[in-house]
Amino acid sequence: MPDLSILIPARNEQFLKRTIDDILQHMEGDTEIIAVLDGRWADPPIPQHEKVTIIYCPKSIGQRAAQNMAAKISQAKYLMKVDAHCAFDQGFDVKMMREMQDDWTMVPVMKNLHAFDWVCPFCGYRQYQGPKPEKCPECGGADFERDVVWIAKPSPNSTSYRFNRELHFKYFGEYKARQKGDIVDTMSLQGSCFMCTREKYWELELCDESWGSWGQQGTEVALKTWLSGGRVVCNKKTWYAHMFRTQKGWQWPYPAPGKSQQGARKISQEIFLNDRWPKAIHKLQWLIDKFAPVPDWTEGAPAPKPKRRRKPPKGVVYYTDNRIDKKMMLACQKQITRGIKEKHVVSVSLEPIDFGRNVHLPLERGHLAMFKQILAGLETSTADVIFLCEHDMLYHPSHFDFIPPRKDAFYYNLNVWKVRIEDGHALKVDDCKQTSGLVAWRELLLEHYRKRVERVEREGYKRYTGFEPGTHSPPVGIDRYKAESYMSKYPNIDIRHDKNLTANRWSKDKFRNQKYTIGWTEADEVPGWGDTKELMDTIRR
């Protein structure tokens, strides 16, 4: 297998063939090229070559997806992403690999590429690359021809890059003066060319397709490398030349380039400015301090405009043992979808049901089965914040308005009334923490329920361990995360019937610990729901 795979995602790239020819001419190692033609064949076409693999996508999938498609084919130790309009130094590949370390991302010195001139065939007048001239200023001719010169300009020689407080790419000339030696640190990079190991490429998700079609990759790659404990370097022993679309009239490969860039930048801002990247071992401020002083970040500089925080995606994990009355189950499901869209629901049942994305576990009803159902739902859901919902709870839409402020705590909605199905009699207490009212960040719930299932499988279910995460500490409980509470605007209705997994208690003397009876209130009407007997009658009909 080759040592290096050069990945070239390409769409509407008129210089793709010239770029590939240049790489073949100047590479000296065991290097291959994998080019993805994203929605359009290359023009001019790419001739067959043993070192070149061409992948054609009939329908455009986007630059990021095309780049990842090429990476998936590679078996090389190193990957190098390259734009489809670049020229290279002789032996650039071996010069890069010779200095490379496994936790680095490396770039060569970046020059500007003089790709072509427009030439008047009548008088020989030449004009630097850009839009085709309408008229020759010397002879008045109008039939200009493109002359590909493909020359790396002697300057600038860029080795240092940064980003501002908006995470927008900038050159970092102030730091360039501080760079000493041939292998030098750079705070960020320009996304047209970079090298890393194939292992780090996938481990750090250096080309996250959820960020959109394209844009912001230089900042993404640099921040993920630095903040995960790696290093971003420029190898001054070699160079590449990049052609910039800086002149009016040039065609961009993808539509709405500004909109795509903006979308990717908003995602990067939300993640990195708020230190929310889960694989980071450093905070963003660590990187700023490392390269300080950094323009736009130095002390006394104006503060950035506050970011409008993106609300985390919410989801429901709904679990049922399939033993309750079908009318009751459907009424409760319908109420859930009044507060959260059904497409964000993962249902886990002991028999198949038609609700959300259903996961069927053929288990025997019991405590361990319930814990396994919750865990299966958490592993299936892709939401950030999860509401655990039971089959016999009527959830008010206001229940789903809450966002847990902390990622290390379990939150319980205490605004809940227990209502008897037979006669609609309602009861509430002040402190009613129950799993059916639990909401937390998915990663925390996953950690807890994986431990809970493993423990119950090993030791069996012990009542003193409790149902509710965060309400018992080790060695009795599962972990040391705390339980917090909130109150929705209107209460939820916990329907009590003859098939509840936990016992129904309708008098204070049934409670061994009287702290669970504080705030004891009985009623026949509940705010937001009205007459509870009529409500139960409606469900039974």
Q: Over the stretch 6-20, which tens digit does the pLDDT of each residue have?
A: 999 998 888 999 999
Nearest to 393 by CA among 331, 440, 327, 341: 331
Tell me the pLDDT tens digit for each residue of 397-454: 999 999 999 999 999 999 999 999 888 899 998 888 899 999 999 999 999 999 999 9
165, 130 in Cβ contact below 8 A?
A: no
The reported pLDDT for the residue numbered 432 is 84
Interior angle at CA 10, CA 6 and CA 12, nearest 5: 155
Better-predicted residue by pLDDT, 68 or 215: 68
Residue that is written with structure tokens 């008897």 in the block: 420
- Percentage of the chain beyond pLDDT 90 is 69
Sorted by where each starts, the structural domains of the chain and their CATH numbers stand as 4-291 (3.90.550.10), 317-540 (3.90.550)
pLDDT at 466 over 80: no
pLDDT at 302 over 50: no
Residue that is written with structure tokens 């992948």 in the block: 55
For residue 491, cis peptide bond before it (omega within 30 degrees of 0): no
165, 307 in Cβ contact below 8 A?
A: no
- Confidence band, pLDDT 50/70/90 cuts, at residue 464: confident
Mean pLDDT for the stretch of residues 89-114: 97
Buried b (16+ CB within 10 A) or exposed e, 223-239: bbbbbbebebbbbbbbb
Residues 6+ apart with CB under 8 A from 330: none
**119 phi and psi, to 5 degrees?**
-120, 130
**Is the Cα dihedral 76, 80, 86, 88 positive or negative?**
negative
pLDDT at 501 over 70: no
In one-letter notation, the amino acid at residue 182 is D
Interior angle at CA 211, CA 209 and CA 214, nearest 5: 80
The reported pLDDT for the residue numbered 259 is 66
The reported pLDDT for the residue numbered 539 is 84
The reported pLDDT for the residue numbered 249 is 46
pLDDT at 132 over 80: yes
Buried b (16+ CB within 10 A) or exposed e, 94-107: bbbbebbeeebbbb
For residue 352, cis peptide bond before it (omega within 30 degrees of 0): no
Nearest to 427 by CA among 506, 503, 321: 506
Mean pLDDT for the stretch of residues 32-41: 94
Count of other CB atoms within 10 angstroms of residue 221: 23
pLDDT at 88 over 60: yes
| Strands (DSSP E) found in 274-371 | 314-320, 345-349, 357-360
pLDDT at 257 over 80: no
Alpha helices (H) along 381-480:
442-459
